[in-house]
């Protein structure tokens, strides 16, 4: 019973401390940040118009969700890789990079307030082709390969059916001959 009382007392004390100080356990902290852009910015797959957005960590170092300011609309869920900065900003930060295709600046990475490890956005490397045209091209290649495989399979099935039919006919003839000869030997 003494251990139970000590456990209840300790738990009550910790909860009271959090209520009085307004602190929360580290696991309960929301990993999101509100960001305002005065001009359009590019994220992988689309361009966000100027405005206020919420960046949220979904999986530490691998996924970021971007929502509107009141968090009622998801603009994108973006693949990320961990990135590190030397001195974390107290209010968090967003790193913008020049866009090689001449569009609006790209979001390179973002960092939560006081955290030196952030999330770097992963952009497809496609040279002169766009990502969507590369996907379309891959889809057409798959479609062509599937059509060819289906035609080859149908031809093979047809050939197999013909093979089975010919051999069944020969087997039938052989059975017939065997019965004929057996019958002949039984009849004097």
119 touches 110 (CB < 8 A): yes
pLDDT at 87: 86
Q: How many domains does the chain have?
A: 3
Q: Which of 32, 52, 31, 26 is nearest to 41 (CA)?
A: 52
Q: How confident is the model at residue 99 (pLDDT cuts 50, 70, 90)?
A: confident
- 116 and 87 within one domain: yes
Residues 142-158 have a mean pLDDT of 66
Residue 173 CA to residue 185 CA, distance in Å, equals 19
pLDDT at 91: 87
Domain end call among 121, 150, 180:
121
Q: Output 125 or 52, whichever has higher pLDDT.
A: 52
The label of the residue with tokens 């929502």 reads 67
- 3 and 52 within one domain: no
- 50 and 81 within one domain: yes
Residues 70-80 have a mean pLDDT of 94
Phi-psi region of 176 (alpha: psi -120 to 50; beta: other; left: phi over 0): alpha
Residues 9-16 have a mean pLDDT of 45
- 45 and 95 within one domain: yes
pLDDT at 175: 59
Domain end call among 121, 145, 160:
121
pLDDT score of 170 more than 90:
no
Query: CB-based contacts of 60: which residues, under 8 Å, 6+ apart?
Result: 31, 82
- 154 and 97 within one domain: no
Q: How confident is the model at residue 89 (pLDDT cuts 50, 70, 90)?
A: confident
- 82 and 145 within one domain: no
Q: Output 115 or 100, whichever has higher pLDDT.
A: 115
Mean pLDDT across the chain, nearest whole number?
74
- 99 and 47 within one domain: yes
Structure tokens at 31: 């990993």
76 touches 44 (CB < 8 A): yes
Instruction: Specify the range with the lowest mean pLDDT, choosing from 16-25, 39-48, 111-120.
Output: 16-25
pLDDT score of 9 more than 50:
no
Q: How confident is the model at residue 22 (pLDDT cuts 50, 70, 90)?
A: very low
- 175 and 96 within one domain: no
For residue 96, give its domain range: 31-121
Within a 13 Å sphere around the CA of 184, how many CA atoms are in the beta-carbon half? Answer: 6
Structure tokens at 160: 């197999």
- 110 and 37 within one domain: yes
- 115 and 37 within one domain: yes
112-143 pLDDT, tens per residue? Answer: 999 999 999 998 876 545 555 555 655 666 66
């Amino acid at each position: 019973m003494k251990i139970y009382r000590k456990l209840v007392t300790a738990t009550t004390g910790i909860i009271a401390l959090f209520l009085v100080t307004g602190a929360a356990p580290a696991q309960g902290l929301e990993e999101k940040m509100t960001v305002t852009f005065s001009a359009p910015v590019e994220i992988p797959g689309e361009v966000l118009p100027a405005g206020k957005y919420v960046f949220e960590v979904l999986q530490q170092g691998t996924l970021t969700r971007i929502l509107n300011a009141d968090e009622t609309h998801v603009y994108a869920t973006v693949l990320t890789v961990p990135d590190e900065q030397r001195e974390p900003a107290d209010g968090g930060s967003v790193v913008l990079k020049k866009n090689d295709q001449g569009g609006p600046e790209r979001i390179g990475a973002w960092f939560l307030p006081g955290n030196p490890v952030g999330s770097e956005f992963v952009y497809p490397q496609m040279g002169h082709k766009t990502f969507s045209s590369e996907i379309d091209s891959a889809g057409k290649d798959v479609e062509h390969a599937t059509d060819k495989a289906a035609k080859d399979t149908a031809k093979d099935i047809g050939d197999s059916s013909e093979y089975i039919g010919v051999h069944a006919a020969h087997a039938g003839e052989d059975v017939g001959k065997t019965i004929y000869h057996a019958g002949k030997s039984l009849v004097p």
